[in-house]
Amino acid sequence: MEETLYEQFGEENLRKLVQHFYDLVFEHPHLSPLFKTDKELIKEKQFLFLTQFFGGSDVYSQRYGHPRLKARHLPHPIGKAEVEAWLQCMALAFSKIDADEKLKDLMFQKLVPPAFFMANKE
Ligand code: HEM
């Protein structure tokens, strides 16, 4: 059987990616004001979500239920600028990980449609 993206990338790299990503997000002028709750919990949720998203275990859903991400993001005003900032932070976070460039690109490309889907304001 073919390895999932999660298996190819590895848990350690995914942990590092999430850490780099939120280091950037929590410093970002457009994004940081949106994050008002427990930052460590958000990192853990994102790590578990991305694990599941890239074909790893479904602990995120077992713990938190169906992701319903668009609904979960409705309380946070997300426009084009926020989507682009989110993707920029993600691209930069990937660039800091020492892994196969094609694999990183494929994983990043898979996040682009969900990021635009999360927009909920003009
Ligand atoms: C496009 C721009 C996006 C913005 C501005 C954004 C922002 C946020 C904010 C403000 C929260 C809540 C933080 C809190 O509770 O304090 C959140 C939660 C979360 N976001 Fe995003 N997000 C975006 C896109 C995405 C995408 C594309 C994904 C997944 C591919 C994602 C996955 C998550 C997850 C898993 C949570 C935790 C949900 C939960 O279980 O409570 N987000 N995001």
Q: Which atom of ligand 1 is nearest to the CA of 35?
A: 16
pLDDT at 62: 98
CB 76 within 8 A of CB 30: no
Residue nearest to atom 32 of ligand 1 (CA): 46
Angle at 52 between CA 112 and CA 83, to 5 degrees: 25
- Which residues have any ligand 1 atom within 6 Å of their CB? 31, 34-37, 42, 45-46, 49, 64, 69, 72-73, 76, 78, 82-83, 86, 111, 114-115, 118
Alpha-carbon span 7 to 54, nearest angstrom: 8
Task: Return the domain boundaries, the chain.
Answer: 7-117
Superfamily the domain 7-117 falls into: Globins (1.10.490.10)
Alpha-carbon span 52 to 109, nearest angstrom: 16
Q: For residue range 77-118, list pLDDT tens digits in order.
A: 999 999 999 999 999 999 999 999 999 999 999 999 999 999
